Amino acid sequence: MSNKNAGYKLSYEADGVYLELTEATGMGLELDRAELANFLHRKDLSGYDEGVVQNLVVLHSGREKIAPPQQEYFFGEDVVVEVHQYEMEARITLLAPEPGGASIDFLTVMQKLSGAGVSYGIDEEAIKAVLSEKRYGESLVVAKATEPVDGENGKLTFHFATDEKTAKPKEIEGGRVDYRSLDLYEAVSEGQLLVSKTSATEGVQGTSVKGKLLKQRPGKEVALPKGKNVMISEDKMEMFAKYSGMVEYINGSINVSNVYKVEGDVDLSVGNIDFDGSVHISGNVLAGHVIKATGGVIVGGVVEASVIISGGNVEVKRGMQGMDKGTIEAGGSISMLYIERGKAVAGGSITVDASIHSIIEAGNSLYAKGKRGSIIGGRAIAAKEVVANSIGSVSQVNTEIEVGVMPQKRARLSYLEKEMERLSGEMVKLDQLDAYLENAKKKLDAETFDKLYRSGAENRKNYARLMEEFVDEMNALHEDFENATDGRVHVFDTVYAGARIIISSDIYKVNDDIKYATFKFKDGEVTYTPCEIRRGG
């Protein structure tokens, strides 16, 4: 048996129009009822009996008159318009004409789209391509909606690291790591931007192919996080640090603190500290560490052979075991129970119960008071006065006390003296260069000689200018020292033999123990009188 698809045929006869159906055979396709209905519709039959057609379709074959006699109409091209996906696109299908049928034009297609309600997003070029390429039977998109664009949610941009601190050592040159510099906190400066906010957007409405507005989803607004010691801009869009210090982001809240607290000792687990603010340490500062703070520093325990540099006051509850390496520098005052083999430099006063073989430099006064109130060995300088129970020791250890001069001026003079010595050496080298050039003048080519000569002359000029400036400054400092006669050294108990008291340009060497005395400068020399102040005064 041959394979043959089911078919249909119209016959226009004198008594009417007949429809003939043939049944499929073998593996042939059954009748496409929609195709038949579309065909009959396009033939534009007048008065045809739809019931007769249905009966034939049920029987699958046969021949019946379905319409009265009429002239046959040969249909041309046509399009079927379909609107899909919630009016997000429109498609057309170009239907082929019968032989001799007319072509459909662009204007007619547009009218059919309009009749289907399609008025937006029409691609006229796509329609023209379908018509020119005769792409029959294909469902092709000729109009697209504009999809709505949902608004973006507001967002926060953090301008500091919010992740948990690693406490890992920081890398230094050569792939090495510094085990005393750990990632424990993030420093911020006053006024530093911490968080900026980007507002939510409304989004943009869309339009369907039938011209309907498609609503978008507006973005959700976000608020700046809660904060402590922060400032909010007037437009509520930015958050800044109110103080310099450290910043933390914990449980959705930002906290700026100008005090960095260490609960326990500063050891390898804490590392070095460089903080823009104050530092409070409940324990000890172990040897080899460096603590820098623009504010004050408080140490609850002992400072070993470490360095503390503070822009404010420094308080060490116990004391310093400096091991000839420990240093404390403060822009303000320093207070500690004792200092042994260390160095303490303060812009203000220094208060200590006992100073043992240490260097003390106070921009104001030095007070050795407490149970011992002693200065034993080393050197102590104070711009105003030194007050102590005792200076030196029974073993006549060398102890030097100087008052009336700012320690910074003494340090500057020492630096200038070293520089003068260095420049003098450079001048000797230039004299040697001149002698060499004089002897080698005939041996050297003109260019080399001229280069060396000019270089030496320029250096000599610069060195001479610096030396002249340094001499003037040194003379001014010496004059200050000679006029610095207001300093006092007050001792409530004993100044032991071996001590030296320096005021202005004179030095008093203590050869025998002196008790209850005030040392001062009078008539060009250092003298002493009974102590001019009372203990505790």
Structure confidence by residue, pLDDT tens digits, 213-265:
999 999 999 999 988 889 999 999 999 998 887 787 877 888 887 888 888 99
Contacts of 105 (CB under 8 A, 6+ apart): 131
What pTM did the predictor assign? 0.54
> CA–CA separation, 243 vs 203, rounded Å?
38
pLDDT in tens, 49-66: 999 999 999 998 999 999
Element spanning 156, H or E: strand 155-158
DSSP run (H or E) holding 9:
strand 7-13
CB atoms within 10 A of CB 364: 17
pLDDT at 200: 95
Best CA proximity match to 443, nearest among 432, 452, 456: 452
DSSP type of residue 285: B
DSSP secondary structure, 88-154, as one string: TEEEEEEEPPPTTPPPP-HHHHHHHHHHTT--SSB-HHHHHHHHHHT-BT-EEEEEE-B--EEPPPP
3-state secondary structure of 458: helix
Average pLDDT over residues 274-282: 86
Token reading at 422: 């260095």
Distance from chain centroid for Cα 443: 62
Instruction: Output the CA angle 444-450-456, nearest 5 degrees.
Output: 110
Own/partner contacts of 531-534, CB < 8 Å, gap of 24 or more, are 531/490, 531/491, 531/492, 532/488, 532/490, 533/387, 533/490
Phi, psi of 111 (to 5 degrees): -65, -40
The pLDDT-based confidence of 182 (bands split at 50, 70, 90) is: very low
- Going by pLDDT thresholds of 50, 70 and 90, the confidence category of residue 184 is low
pLDDT at 166 > cutoff 60: no
Distance CA 461, CA 466 (A): 9
Which string of DSSP letters, residue by residue, matches 314-337? EEEEEEEEEEEEEEEEESS-EEEE
Rounded to 5 degrees, what are φ and ψ at 253?
-125, 140
What's the pLDDT at 440? 81
